[in-house]
Amino acid sequence: MEKIVSLCKRRGFIYQSSELYGGWNGFWDYGPNGAELKRNLRDTWWHAMTRFRDDVVGLDATIIMHPSIWKASGHVDTFNDPMCACKSCNKLVRADQAWSVLEETRWFASLAATFDPASTSCNEEKLRKWIPRDGSQHAPNLALIRDPDAAFGRIAARISSGAPLDVRDFVQTLATSDPASGWRTPCPHCGGELGDAKPFNLMLKTNTGPIASEENVSYLRPETAQAIFAQFKNVFDSSRVRVPFGIAQIGKAFRNEITPRNFTFRSREFEQMELEFFILPDEAVELICGSVLPFTEGMDLSEPKPNWGWEVWHRYWLKERTDYYRSIGLPTEVLDFYWQSEADLAHYARATVDILFQFPFGCEELEGIAARGNFDLSQHQTHSGKPLEIFDEELKAAAANLDEKQREDFIQKTHANRRKPETTIEETRAYCESLFQGCYIPHVIEPSAGLDRLALAILSNAFEEEKVTDAKGKEETRTVLHFHPRIAPVKCAVFPLLKNRPELVAEAKRITALLRRHMAVYYDESGAIGRRYRRQDEIGTPFCVTVDFDTVGENGPENQGTVTLRHRDSMEQTRVRVEDLIQILSAHLAP
Ligand code: ATP
């Protein structure tokens, strides 16, 4: 990770925000190459999700919206992370991440190294040496340091109790002055005792209007999705779409993360790429098609069908998203899939699968794909008092074909399959009656990805330090980013072989101008050609074109009008005609 962070800074991909003033935790800026990389990723997502489809349209909504939206969505009341405060230094730590943050500290590693799980006593001698060395300096508030004898007494008591002791128990014992109040996790910053976890709302607040008061508190959106729900009706009424269809949005989101960490992975300001794909409720599909197609492993998901229910749509979007990642250079082999258990799922969610990537610091979420039922639109309908149901002529016509008995059977079946046991038969009846009239609130499948996490995954996946042998037989290390050409910040670099030969420079500049109309090109004339190649390898440029004496016909007419085209990954050089360049390069850039 350190190598990637350093390359990102050195080659203008990512810098710490406000570095001039010592940095600002949880915020990152994208430099010239990073801005291009991000733009390319954004474009590939937008193209895959909207332009290449008939059934998805776009939206670009504001970051600050009516605060009631966040009340309706549940963010005001429940968008919380558990947070602990250190009783000594008052610093805050996210409770569920306290151990992983702690385990990254140097003092924890050296303390843990004194622990021997096989031993029946703690190694007091080693610990006494640790105290003045690492301990007092980096964890001065650890209970062990404040009162070593009491800590040794606690360890002895815990060992003699016969209960198995692992390294976390060992560290907790050394960190806790009063076990009666519960074993404590030490503070990663000073070793002090962390207090009990309390919910902490992650939304960043601001005020709109000239007076800062409780009445005009507003929030920087913590996700882009809610704007899609809030504008659902407008989009539906103004864009000639029919369910099933989707609304896609890319934009900034803000979360006051308690412990931003792992470079850009967990930031306080980040960009999301979200799709809300609206589908018919399964009951409506059943009325129209007679039955709902169940999901089966290996089924054909290439073309959506009218009899798909939420489960097949959910699998379809998982396939679509996996195909997308493959198209930008993240094949299925570098991804992992985590299906949330019933216990993990939000109360309204039917299924959620997380697409994970093996980051240098562990396998972590890149994107979540959730089947959210009609929770969000229903909430906004209730809170706004405005109907968000839609009317479907085909549904009404299908229901009109049912006789009284068939309708009653349908109601009873729907009631028997209800998700919430507390739903009354009257509620089920009202819901079915509404379906018979052709009205329903659409359900939704939500693929939600983070652009910054994707950029980090792409950088980690592309990074390689390769041993190569140079022309003189000397071994050296080549740092290379194996970006897919579609997302590389620069697609092609153009070099004149020598910068003091005007005819070579003129031709290289002419070719640069020619290519520039089609792709991002970089002209470079300084330094030895090998050094220029290495510079481009480091920023992941897939192709380099060199204009030499053959190009300008100095070695005879045979190779006149040709250049060398150097391929980044194989380092192979081929001779191609200048007039074929655009076609050759474009073939690699097409989706
Ligand atoms: P996590 O569990 O990692 O906090 P989440 O499940 O809360 O993520 P969602 O609310 O589902 O995330 O957001 C969708 C996507 O937005 C995530 O998959 C991730 O790519 C991105 N994302 C969420 N929080 C952050 C953040 N703090 N920094 C960068 N990207 C983020």
The per-residue pLDDT string of the chain (591 residues; one tens digit each, 9 = 90 and over) reads 999 999 999 999 999 999 999 999 999 999 999 999 999 999 999 999 999 999 999 999 999 999 999 999 999 999 999 999 999 999 999 998 899 899 989 999 999 888 877 776 677 888 888 999 888 989 999 999 999 999 888 888 888 887 778 888 889 999 999 988 889 999 999 999 999 999 999 999 999 988 888 889 999 999 999 999 999 999 999 998 999 999 999 999 999 998 888 999 999 999 999 999 999 999 999 999 999 999 999 999 999 999 999 999 999 999 999 999 999 999 999 999 999 999 889 888 999 999 999 999 999 999 999 999 999 999 999 999 999 999 999 999 999 999 999 999 999 999 999 988 899 999 999 999 999 999 999 999 999 999 999 999 999 999 999 998 877 888 989 999 999 999 999 999 999 999 999 999 999 999 999 999 999 999 999 999 999 999 999 999 999 999 999 999 888 888 899 999 999 999 999 999 999 999 999 999 988
What are the residues facing 543 on neighbouring strands? 492, 567
* pLDDT number for residue 446: 98
Is residue 311 within 6 Å of ligand 1 at its C-beta? no
CATH architecture observed for domain 2-77+217-386+442-453: 2-Layer Sandwich (3.30)
Predicted confidence at residue 121, as pLDDT, reads: 67
| pLDDT for position 120 | 64
Per-residue pLDDT at 48: 97
pLDDT of residue 549: 93
Q: Would you say 269 and 254 are in contact if contact means Cβ atoms under 8 Å apart?
A: yes
Collapse the DSSP code of 398 into the 3-class scheme (helix H, G, I; strand E, B; otherwise coil) and give the result: helix
Atom of ligand 1 nearest to the CA of 268: 27
Say how far apart CA 277 and CA 55 lie, in whole Å. Answer: 9
With residue 356 as reference, give the H or E element that holds it.
strand 351-359
Binding site membership of 266 for ligand 1 (Cβ less than 6 Å): yes
Find the helix or strand (DSSP H, E) in which 552 lies: none
366 lines ligand 1 (CB under 6 A): yes
- Ligand 1 probe mutation, 270, 359, 363, 366, most atoms within 8 A of CB: 270
Q: What are phi and psi of 288, to 5 degrees?
A: -80, -45
Nearest atom of ligand 1 to the alpha carbon of 222: 10
Helices 393-400 and 282-289: crossing angle in degrees, nearest 10, is 60
Cα 116 to middle of ligand 1, angstroms? 38
Give how far Cα 18 sits from Cα of 25, 28, 52, 291, Å. Answer: 9, 8, 39, 58
- Cα(191) to centroid(ligand 1), Å: 29
For the 490-589 domain, the top CATH level (class) is: alpha beta
Domain ranges, ordered by start, for the chain: 2-77+217-386+442-453, 80-199, 390-440, 490-589
452 pocket-lining for ligand 1 (C-beta < 6 Å): yes
